[in-house]
Amino acid sequence: MNPIKIYPTSFVLLALFVLPPMVTHAQDDCYKSFKYALSTAGYHANAFDVVDAGNNQFFVVGTTGDSTGGRNILVTKITGTGTVLWSQMYGGLGNEFVRKASPTSNGGLLIAGSTTSPGSSKSDMLCMAINPAGFIRWVRRFSFNSPNGDVAMDIMETSGNLHAVTGITNVSSVNADVVVMRLDKGGNLIWSRQFDSGNEDNGIGIAEKGNNLVVSGSIQQQAGKTESFVMEISKANASVLNVVKLGTLTNNIGSPYIFKDNVNGGFWINSHLTNGNQQNKMRQAVLRLDEDFNINASYQLTIPEEVSNSYSGFRSMPDGGFITCSGMEANSSGFIFRVSKEGTPVFSKKLKGGNDRKLTRLELIGDKIVSVGSDKRGGLDAMFVIAFDSNGVIDEPCQTDTADLTVENITVISADFKWAKTGSESPTNITTDFSKKNKDVSLTVLCALKCDVPAVNADFEVADTVCVNTPVTIVNKTSGGTTFFWNFGIEGGSGTTNIFTSSDSMPLPFTYKVPGIYNLMLTVDKGLPTEQSLTKILHIVAPPAARLLPDTSFCMGDSLLLKTSFFAGNIAWSNTGTDSFILITRPGKYWIEANYYGCTVGDSVNVIQHALPVVSLGNDTTICVAGILLNAQNDQSSYLWQDGTVSQTYNVTNSGLYTVRVTDANGCSAKDSIKVTMYSQLAWQIGGGATICAGGKTQLTANGSNIKSYSWLPVVSLSDPLSNTPTASPLDSTTYVCTVTADNGCKGIDSIRINVKPVPYVIAPQDMVVCAGTKVSLPTTATAGVTFNWSPKNYLTHNAGGGTFTIPDTTITYRVHVTDANGCSASDSVTIEVNPSPKLLAATLDTLICAGAEARLAATAASPNTTFTWSPANTLSDASGANPVAKPATTTMYFVEALNEYGCTAKDSVTVAVRSKAVFSLDPQTAATCPGKTITLTAGGGDVYEWLPASTLVAAGTTAIASPVENTTYRVVIKDTSCSITDTLSATIAASAKMYTKASKTNDIDCILPTASLKAEGGISYQWFPAASLNNAAIANPVASPQQSTKYYVKVTAAGGCYSYDSVTVNVYKSVENGYQLPTAFTPNDDGNNDCFGVRKWGTLTSLDFSIFNRQGKLIFHTKNPSDCWDGTMNGTKQLTGSYIYVIKAQVPCGQITRTGSVVLIR
């Protein structure tokens, strides 16, 4: 929000002319419908709003130019029949623009818009009020000091003749805030609020809702999407009560003006609907909202051309529908529509003629629709005004075309919304000088239809009886007349009336001073051919005499009927009653006034109200024992109980309702009743007794049905003595007493005891200081029989018991917690401050020297002022220095101890190895290897190794991998670089001949052959795998019985230990279709070859049914024995050569098999 500068609030009125109607073509004609053009010579004139002025009159509000090049506000007042009453201009040296106008309750006008200073394009808010005659009541110019200016978009009069304004403060080129202001009767600022969503926010319209204001506006996001909002705020302080955002899925909805819907309830929203890709193409969107801003209806108004004017007029209609007007992008004549409550077009008018006509607003004036805008005439804009019948009837010569209006329901999405921030800066009320400007306004009647001229008919209304000295009022009801003459039926100078005659169309009220009968005569168009007269008799009566009323009284709660004996006439009581009686319910002074034909007479009476006796038997009660005495109080009164007893007191012995009526000395009575219920003692129980440790707490309980309240004593150690589950924290063993009250009022008392046990003790060791790495004992003293728990457990040797050990390396505090057999506990702590050790480091690594050599040792420590001691000292140059020289004869471990300034010590060691004369080795020195295999040679005793020959060696330091293809001698040259010793060793490796290995099988496996024999060759030992389906995996020729096809591998080992591998696959065919074949012919000639036809080669059969038939179907052979076959005979007789039919059914390992076919017997 921009900061607001404060200026003096004195504001010089825009200097304006206040002249008689300045209309070049003024007229007094009466038109039923008309189209006008109002222009100012040499300048544009545009109408932006039309406002109902009351009395069938309206204001046309717009702008026009002047000789300084600025713009000024132009207001014209016209009657509903087309008579221009006056036209006036308001302005200063800058530019004034109108955004919205609205009526005031006294027939005046409010205007909202903007004004600029001379030579500046930055605008300020303009708000002004004029009276019905065009005189300015007040004008205000408000500035929020925004870099891009401010504008008032709408203004209205609210209840109490105050005012509300909404508008825009343009805080930057891409951001604006909504402004709402509250003004008093004189236009002075009461409060101002700004609302910001972080986008371009515009306050557009404003309406009233009881004690609140409703503001409508738009939110234009920087991405180009425009949505509308409706906001309800408090009139008192502008606090936000409700904000709803309105938008569509694909279009922009903006410029929403809000109107109160007095027919349907709620509000109307009139807005623009644009496509996001065509911002200059607009349609009209109309929404109807309920009081809570829920959408009841949403319409889109579409005409053949896209509307692109930034103003669209709207007015709700008495039938619940609405009327609206609109202009077009260019070359428009203007459109006016009326839509029903149900959303269907009633009429749609396209005005004829016009050049680039824009209709901006419309209003319902009497029974006419009046719409205003602008019309291009001779290169300049002129104010355009059209008025016609609200049913859409426009008679000649103001004919119109029918427009093709479409009213569609559209989807508008409503969502809750919250402002990013709000502000309460007050705007500046800027003082500005304005000059007076006179300008003629020319009226051009584009078309008009005159009113029907009625015949003269003299008529007037007057009371037939009037009291003397009472003003007599006459209402002229004459139609068609032009002149009037009144004769009041008396002679001049008689003193009977204050006037005698009159020529006014509506004479002022007059009085008769003497009772009597008078003739009152009206003459219309006297002396003209249309002259008519009418006489009425007037009775003037004397005033009546007064009649008095006596003072009286009544009892409180009663009523009193006051009657008057006044004469018949118009009666008025002080309580607004008009009958001859009134019903009194309050004390006080009452007066009556009777009007007798204008004369009045009255009286008054004092009415006293006596207080009723105060009768109180008390609240309905419940008692747990029999017997209660009721007292009606109020001594010296009479009493009547429910059973007829008349005593002041009543003894109750049973449950029931008891009532007494008491009547006092004034005769005023009152009664009371009490319900008495007697109950037996309630049943309940108390719990929660416990043993606790000193300083502890426990929960008490009290339970029972229908318990209303609880009260515990003593209360000093309880969390809530009125709870049924208080927490008790006694210092010593305590007995608690609980009193309960049931719903029926009965009480009960019980107690419970809480025993408090003492807390054990524990004493930890005193705080101490140790060196890092020191083992510390932690003995404790505690109550006997307790259990221990230490924390933290870092560095502790164990956690339980009263004594433990720790070796901390940093300062630490231990807490020991003990618990006794009652569960009571205590704790103590000990802090061990740990001083650092020297952090000794023997900087010399373990080292190796040759015999007779020396080695320099070194020690370092992190602590300053550290001393060192080395041992053994006999082979050291300085046993107390940090860098002694060692010369041992044999390998020696030297120890060094460091002592720092805290008295803490540390030890380390370093080993000096003395190297003896090297002993070289090579292994193996003789060996054999299998073809394709390698052998590893390993040497030792030296630092550097050189292997020969390199062609069949892969050497790496002490090892070499040999791959000889023939018998080979390998050599290694070994060097001891530390002590400069070199030697050569050799190894002889014999290479074995290449092996021959072969694996084979006898057959694959099927339903006939369930096994296969395997065979391996080329070695002395064999190992087959997988072994699970072999009868023996360690022989050369195992039998294989796999269930599925399997590849068998065999490892064949030769006599020298060399080995190789081979493999063979045994396929398994388990389908009955793969075997069990039969020959197609056989020759039973006893030559031993194919002499018998059968199934002997089918393998194992668990069942068989084998039959052979000749071609005639005769069975000639049958068997169930798999070993039987047909030898070509039947009962020993050889059968003829030819084809025979066989049928075989057999159960084989693979399943059931059936074979049918023919076999040829050949001899």
120-124, 663-667, 823-827, range with the lowest pLDDT? 120-124
**pLDDT (tens digit per residue) in 806-864:** 888 889 998 989 898 888 998 888 899 988 888 777 667 888 888 888 889 888 887 77
SS3 358: strand
For residue 739, give the amino acid letter: T
In this model, does residue 546 exceed pLDDT 80?
no
In a domain, 248, yes or no: yes
Q: What is the pLDDT of residue 224?
A: 72
**Structure confidence at residue 2 as a pLDDT band (50, 70, 90):** very low
**Tally of CA atoms within 13 A in the half-sphere of 1062 that contains its CB:** 18
CATH number, domain at 1132?
2.60.40
Nearest-angstrom CA–CA distance, 455 and 530: 8
Nearest-angstrom CA–CA distance, 937 and 959: 6
| % of residues, the chain, pLDDT over 70 | 90
Q: Is the domain of 855 the same as that of 887?
A: yes
Q: Is the domain of 204 the same as that of 173?
A: yes
Torsion, Cα 130 133 135 140, to 10 degrees, reads 0
Span 987-1003, average pLDDT: 86
Number of H helices, E strands in the chain: 0, 100
CATH number, domain at 790?
2.60.40.10
Q: Is the domain of 814 the same as that of 704?
A: no
Reduced 3-state DSSP string for 74-138: EEEEEECCCCEEEEEEECCCCCEEEEEEEECCCCCEEEEEEEECCCCCCEEEEEEEECCCCCEEE
In a domain, 743, yes or no: yes
Q: Is the domain of 122 the same as that of 266?
A: yes
C-alpha 355, offset from chain centre:
52
In this model, does residue 132 exceed pLDDT 50?
yes
Span 51-77, average pLDDT: 89
**pLDDT (tens digit per residue) in 871-915:** 998 999 998 888 899 989 889 999 988 888 888 888 888 999 888
Q: Decide if 866 contacts 881 (C-beta within 8 A).
A: no
In a domain, 8, yes or no: no
- Tell me the pLDDT of the chain averaged across its residues: 84
Nearest-angstrom CA–CA distance, 164 and 241: 17
**Structure confidence at residue 310 as a pLDDT band (50, 70, 90):** low
**pLDDT (tens digit per residue) in 210-227:** 999 999 999 988 667 889
Nearest-angstrom CA–CA distance, 58 and 101: 12
Q: Decide if 212 contacts 226 (C-beta within 8 A).
A: no
Q: Is the domain of 986 the same as that of 1049?
A: no
Q: Is the domain of 1157 the same as that of 1117?
A: yes
Number of domains in the chain: 10
| DSSP code string of 902-936 | TS-EEEEEEEEEEE-----EEE-SEEEE-TT--EE
Q: Is the domain of 978 the same as that of 1114?
A: no
Q: Is the domain of 243 the same as that of 148?
A: yes
Q: Decide if 671 contacts 641 (C-beta within 8 A).
A: no
Q: What is the pLDDT of residue 142?
A: 92
Q: Is the domain of 206 the same as that of 257?
A: yes
| Domain termination residue (choose one: 860, 888, 915) | 915
Q: Decide if 136 contacts 11 (C-beta within 8 A).
A: no
Q: What is the pLDDT of residue 8?
A: 29
C-alpha 1150, offset from chain centre:
73
In a domain, 531, yes or no: yes
What is the reported pTM?
Answer: 0.45
In a domain, 270, yes or no: yes
Per the model's pLDDT, the better-predicted residue between 1016 and 840 turns out to be: 1016
Q: Is the domain of 340 the same as that of 398?
A: yes
Going by their DSSP bridges, the two strands 867-871 and 892-899 should be labelled as antiparallel
Nearest-angstrom CA–CA distance, 702 and 680: 19
**Structure confidence at residue 576 as a pLDDT band (50, 70, 90):** low
Which contacts of 1121-1129 are long-range, i.e. CB under 8 A and separated by 24 or more positions? 1122/1095, 1122/1096, 1122/1098, 1122/1146, 1123/1096, 1124/1094, 1125/1092, 1125/1093, 1125/1094, 1125/1095, 1125/1096, 1126/1092, 1126/1093, 1126/1094, 1127/1084, 1127/1091, 1127/1092, 1128/1082, 1128/1084, 1128/1093, 1128/1161, 1128/1163, 1129/1084
Q: What is the pLDDT of residue 93?
A: 78
Peptide bond into 1026 cis (omega under 30): yes
| Domain termination residue (choose one: 662, 678, 694) | 678
SS3 670: strand
| Domain termination residue (choose one: 881, 915, 949) | 915
In a domain, 5, yes or no: no
Q: Is the domain of 814 the same as that of 933?
A: no
**pLDDT (tens digit per residue) in 376-427:** 888 898 999 999 888 877 755 676 767 677 777 878 888 888 998 888 888 8
Angle at 1107 between CA 1104 and CA 1113, to 5 degrees: 155
**Structure confidence at residue 15 as a pLDDT band (50, 70, 90):** very low
Q: Is the domain of 800 the same as that of 885?
A: no
In a domain, 728, yes or no: yes
In a domain, 59, yes or no: no
**pLDDT (tens digit per residue) in 907-961:** 888 999 888 777 889 899 888 888 878 889 999 888 899 999 888 888 888 898 8
Q: What is the pLDDT of residue 221?
A: 82
Exposure class string for 939-974: b at 16+ Cβ within 10 A, else e: bebbeebebeeeebbebeebebebbbeeebebebbb
**Structure confidence at residue 499 as a pLDDT band (50, 70, 90):** low
Quote the tokens at residue 979.
């002590």
Q: What is the pLDDT of residue 548?
A: 59
Quote the tokens at residue 776.
């510390």
For residue 1014, give the amino acid letter: L
Span 498-516, average pLDDT: 77
Question: 28 exposed, middle or buried (CB, 10 Å; 0-12, 13-18, 19+)?
Answer: exposed
- Domain holding 857, by residue range, is 841-915
For residue 1046, give the amino acid letter: T
Most confident of 527-541, 639-653, 996-1010: 639-653
